[in-house]
Amino acid sequence: MSPPVKNFLPSCVINTLAVLVITRFVCSIHFSSTTGLVVATLVLGIFIAFPRPVLLSLLSLSLPFLLLPICVIGIILSVLRAVTGIGSTRRRRRRQTTSSRGRIATWAASVRV
């Protein structure tokens, strides 16, 4: 048997047992024959088994389009950081500010006659 069939058969058996347990606990779900239960679980197994590979292939096809905006935003942020210097490891020297009293004292010292 091929690997997909080997994976599908245990899945159908587990689904059959799960539906059987559900019919015992939920009053509104019941089955009239065992063949009806098996057919229902086969249909359930098909609905579970086939969309999964299709959805995974669609995800792998759309993944570049999902990552493209993230990369563009990263490039834009890098350029902005380089232009503005935000986040730079170099420390900017602060302009020394003195109070008005200090400026007056400096001016008075320089005006000596």
For residues 102-112, give the mean pLDDT. 63
Q: Is 31 strand, coil or helix?
A: coil
Q: Are 38 and 15 in contact (CB under 8 A)?
A: no
- Contact present, 46 and 12 (Cβ < 8 Å): no
74's tokens: 């990263």
pLDDT digits (tens, 9 = 90+) for 46-104: 877 777 777 778 778 888 888 888 889 989 988 888 888 776 665 555 555 555 556 66
pLDDT tens-place string over residues 13-30: 888 888 888 888 888 877
Structure-model confidence comparison of residues 107 and 15, the more confident one: 15
Kindly list the domain boundaries of the chain, sorted by start residue. Answer: 1-72
* Residue 91: Cβ within 10 Å count: 6
pTM of the entire predicted model: 0.40
